Structure 1
């Protein structure tokens, strides 16, 4: 499929945008699917028109693909055809005016502050716990403290080098999406939990704060999920309610509930666009109502009249 620019497009995503390997693979699958559909109609990506693409996308809907999958597929096509136009492989971008399916933005799932405390308490090892058991719970405690204290993505947490804690006091250097680095605050409790894990792992030769087996690679997402599953059961939770993203949502929700600014939250979460952060504005509704009730002169007058 190289003659239609797909190879060059995927190489650009990796080299210039720092796209993750899973993203590149997903885009390759999306373009291959489109290529097969166009080939069945005697077309190629270099000659397809806007109407042809609309028909292709309508076919995805008829196949029962979820709206979010359709939207991702369209995002891929828009970027791909824009690339072809910029590289002079096409005179136009036939995907420029295509609209994505309407998505209902689900409210983020999060834990209560009491539930987070219960999870952290569940990481306390039993008096007769084996060294391996103690280390597993110590790793769980460090991970939970750091995820909840900073709102890190799980990929950011597991790829942390041991030297990440060597940044300015109270801060930690994180490499996020697209290789972008940012400094995030890290609470004293979270740092202490991470240091305790590092002390226990002092004899392990690994550059990672959360090493996998052998130490040469970081812990896998699957390995981390198993640890979270065990902690959830110890805390009396349904394990399906606990995930790294739920902890990230809990971090954001609780910060806003205690008066944090949405722009500050955007920086902490590493969102490139404030629109992504706005999914958390549901938390601010009660604060906004309270602010109007307490500070708006007409609201106060109405209260006094009752």
Structure 2
């Protein structure tokens, strides 16, 4: 399906068309998904008199009022479409701030994020190692560095591909990134990821402004998405199960399984609201119960009988 529509004119229309093109190319969204996003975004634009792309929190709050009589699932779907749309606008530099916190959050039971289990991740890295041994080209070194950073730090795709050439220093095991809404956050970088970047960085032209250059700019998110799909297929993993965002989810899921603190995870992922981070608590509720039973300070204190 083409992501364009004859109605996509004016500032809102052009922004919506660009967003749908990204969803089709990068996220591989199905035709029905694109139709639903387009319908919801154009409907919101009509309610805001063609000012959706530049809307502020007050205007989005009015949208919530207009949706008040809708079924919770319908309102939640519309709000989710707008959140993704505004995140795209901020990532693309088409606006400076994200007003979507003002959108309603109907209680519908949030879908769990796609993720990979540990065996899938091991297969990805085994395929990367096989490639490097068979063909140690700059392209394979670059892909290893990209995957190590995605899975080893939870970077968003845009943050990853647009890293400056000297963003990582050998003596600095972290990055300081400016993410959504201009918020800065500290991102720890694993020793593995730093080593992979160091091996790759010597192949980057010295005059490049980017760590992952491509032509006159940096590697595109769409190209990153394509590289991961090919890697997954070669590793025996269905390509539709992987994307940069899935690796970010795997980073968060596996850290939490390993005992990471939820607040620390929130900071590393750059979530403004810890409620967003709490979605990962689905991953291992049994382990969390066992943790309470084993580590609670009263676990060894005998309970008095009534």
Smaller-chain TM-score range?
A: 0.5 to 0.7
Give the alignment partner of residue 77 of structure 2, picking from 57, 65, 68.
Answer: 68
- Which residue in the other structure is 2:172 paired with? 169
Q: Which residue of 2 aligns with 1:91?
A: none
Gaps in structure 2 of 5+ consecutive residues: 1-10, 13-17, 21-37, 51-58, 86-101
TM superposition shift of 1:169: 2.1
Q: How big is the shift at 1:60?
A: 7.8
Bigger radius of gyration: 1
2:187 to 169, 184, 188: 184
1:99 to 1:53, Cα distance in 2 relative to 1, 3 A: closer
The Cα of 1:66 is off from its aligned counterpart by 7.3
How has the CA–CA distance of structure 1 residues 299 and 275 changed in structure 2, closer, same or farther, with 3 Å as cutoff? same
Q: Which residue does the alignment assign to 1:114?
A: 119
Matched residue, 2:225: 225
Question: Is 1:271–2:271 an aligned residue pair?
Answer: yes
- Alpha carbons 1:57, 1:70 under 8 Å: kept: no
Any idea what SS the aligned residue of 2:217 has?
Answer: coil
1:293–1:300 CA contact under 8 A, matched in 2 = no
Partner of 2:128: 123
Structure 1 length as normaliser, TM-score?
0.66
Per-residue CA deviation, residues 116-153 of structure 1 (Å, 9 max, x unaligned), is 12111212326663x7xx22222211111011111111
Aligned to 2:235: 235
The verdict on how the C-alpha distance between 1:59 and 1:113 changes in structure 2, with shifts beyond 3 A counting, is same
**1:94-105 equivalences in 2 (<5 Å):** 101-105=106-110
Q: Name the structure where helix makes up a greater proportion of residues.
A: 1
1:250 Cα deviation after fit: 0.9
- Distance, in Å, in 2 between the alignment partners of 1:182 and 1:162 is 19
1:151-170, aligned counterparts within 5 Å? 151-166=154-169, 169-170=172-173
1:160 alignment partner, SS class: coil
1:211 aligns with 2:213: yes
Cα deviation 1:40-70 (Å, max 9, x = unaligned): xxxxxxxx9x99985x537987xx9674224
2:3 alignment counterpart: none
CA contact (8 A) 2:178 2:184 kept: yes
- Does residue 201 of structure 1 match 2:204? yes
Where does the alignment leave 5 or more consecutive residues of structure 1 unmatched? 1-6, 11-20, 38-47, 77-96
Shift of 1:300: 9.9
TM-score by length of 2: 0.66
Distance 1:28 1:126 in 2: 44
User: Any idea what SS the aligned residue of 2:213 has?
Assistant: coil
Deviation by residue 1:49-100 (Cα, 9 ceiling, x = unmatched): x99985x537987xx9674224555999xxxxxxxxxxxxxxxxxxxx9965
Moved more, 171-180 or 244-253: 171-180
* CA displacement 1:201-233 (0-9 Å, x = unmatched): 235x32111112x1x311111111111111111
CA contact (8 A) 1:68 1:103 kept: no
Deviation at 1:276, TM superposition (A): 1.0
CA distance in 2, matches of 1:301, 1:109: 42
